[in-house]
Amino acid sequence: MSRVVIFDEFGGPEVLHVVDRPVVEPAAGEVRVRIEAFAVNPLDLMVRSGRAPFPVPPAPARLGIEGAGVIDAVGPEVAGFQVGDPVIIAAVPDANERGSYAEHTTIPASRVFSRPAGLGSTEAAAIWVAYSTAYGALIEKAGMRPGDQVLITAASGGVGRAALQVANQIGAVPIAVTRDSAKKDELLAAGAAAVIATDQEDIVEAVLRHTAGTGADIVLDLVTGPGQAELLKAIRPGGTLIAAGFLDSRPTPAPKDETVIGYQSFEHTLDPVVVRRMAAFLAAGVRLGALRPAIDRAFAIEDVAEAHRHLEKGLNAGKKIVVTV
């Protein structure tokens, strides 16, 4: 038997509970992963509470879109993996049935990749969603290049921190945006070339000041909502805004002449060709010491409801919350 976290109805963290389920054998093209740790993401909270930005099948259901573990069974027609290989789960397209909140999951072999040397299971469980989103938005979508001046909103969050490191890895210049001036020193230490605190500064004036009057080449908007109107004023002519967040549910103004590109990570994480590029980029960044997830706390699987409460209350200060199995 294998322990699995499920919920039988939408609601608060209290609807989560651990049950025993039979261990499933991998089908053709699949591997079974013995999960060592999984991360708790804002999307998990939205799905659990019935507020997901996409249709969710009725409960009972599983959760979890990223994790790390070891392959403990290999199905027919799988090449490149064997029992005992440490891996990272790159995407769980049907998390309600195969979610990573469990001791085991079976998943297509194309959805896992080898764990970079030097990453323990806790860090490995927390790296994929944030860093693949930042990489996909900035490099695959926006075509970020060395020297580009990149404005990153919600920079103290998990994806924002990852975006700072991704930009630095290729030689771009990341400018962090935060609503709280108390976070300036922390963001500078996390890799920001400059920090704009909107509780003290006008964002357009500050961007022009930090870019010698030219404006940002790329804006990564991880918030959206009405605040995007000001971000559009901070882009240089011919620049690009990538809308990759949903933290503000209020309407977002329509752009005029600016280039705005919407981004959802699953458009890339379900593409094995792009996943291969992402995995290579992450492995290189880990090897060079350029990419490292910031971990807040690790909870035991029995305390998964408390991990959700911790994230809902914002006690993680933008760092990742991990559950060990």
Residues 77 and 7 placed together within one structural domain of the fold: yes
CB contact at 8 A, 83 and 30: no
What local confidence, expressed as pLDDT, does residue 39 receive?
96
168 vs 192: CA distance, rounded Å:
8
Six-digit token pair at 207? 């961007």
Residue 279 domain flag: no
Q: Residue 168 in 3-state DSSP?
A: helix
What local confidence, expressed as pLDDT, does residue 52 receive?
81
Residue 144 domain flag: yes
Residues 116 and 152 placed together within one structural domain of the fold: no
Residues 70 and 189 placed together within one structural domain of the fold: no
What local confidence, expressed as pLDDT, does residue 72 receive?
96
Residue 191 domain flag: yes
Residues 122 and 171 placed together within one structural domain of the fold: no
* CATH code at position 188: 3.40.50.720
Report whether pLDDT(246) > 80: no
Residues 142 and 123 placed together within one structural domain of the fold: no
Tell me the average pLDDT across 174-188. Answer: 95
What's the domain range around 66?
A: 2-127+293-324
Residues in contact with 182: Cβ distance below 8 Å, sequence separation at least 6, in sequence order: none
Give, in degrees to the nearest 5, the angle at Cα 216 between 184 and 182: 10
What local confidence, expressed as pLDDT, does residue 319 receive?
85
Tell me the average pLDDT across 242-249. Answer: 80
What local confidence, expressed as pLDDT, does residue 255 receive?
73
232 vs 228: CA distance, rounded Å:
6
Residues in contact with 143: Cβ distance below 8 Å, sequence separation at least 6, in sequence order: none
294 vs 298: CA distance, rounded Å:
12
Residues 150 and 237 placed together within one structural domain of the fold: yes
* CATH code at position 76: 3.90.180.10
Interhelix angle 272-288/158-170, nearest 10 degrees: 80
Tell me the average pLDDT across 74-85. Answer: 96
Residue 117 domain flag: yes
Return mean pLDDT, the chain. Answer: 92
Residues 233 and 314 placed together within one structural domain of the fold: no
CB contact at 8 A, 138 and 144: yes
126 vs 39: CA distance, rounded Å:
5
Residue 275 domain flag: no
- Among 129-143, 193-207, 249-263, where is mean pLDDT lowest? 249-263
Residues 175 and 107 placed together within one structural domain of the fold: no
Residues 255 and 141 placed together within one structural domain of the fold: yes
Tell me the average pLDDT across 187-193. Answer: 96
Query: For the chain, what percent of residues have pLDDT higher than 90?
Result: 77
Residues 199 and 188 placed together within one structural domain of the fold: yes
Chain Cα centroid distance, residue 91: 11
* pTM, full prediction: 0.91
What local confidence, expressed as pLDDT, does residue 90 receive?
85
Report whether pLDDT(54) > 90: no
Chain Cα centroid distance, residue 318: 12
Q: Residue 60 in 3-state DSSP?
A: coil
Number of structural domains (the chain) is 2
Q: Is pLDDT larger for residue 165 or for residue 268?
A: 165
Residue 281 domain flag: no
305 vs 79: CA distance, rounded Å:
37
Residue 285 domain flag: no
User: Which burial class, exposed, middle or buried, applies to 288 when counting CB atoms under 10 A from its CB (0-12, 13-18, 19+)?
Assistant: exposed
Residues 201 and 141 placed together within one structural domain of the fold: yes
Residue 303 domain flag: yes
Residues 239 and 318 placed together within one structural domain of the fold: no
Tell me the average pLDDT across 18-40. Answer: 97
Out of 216, 251, 266, a domain closes at 266
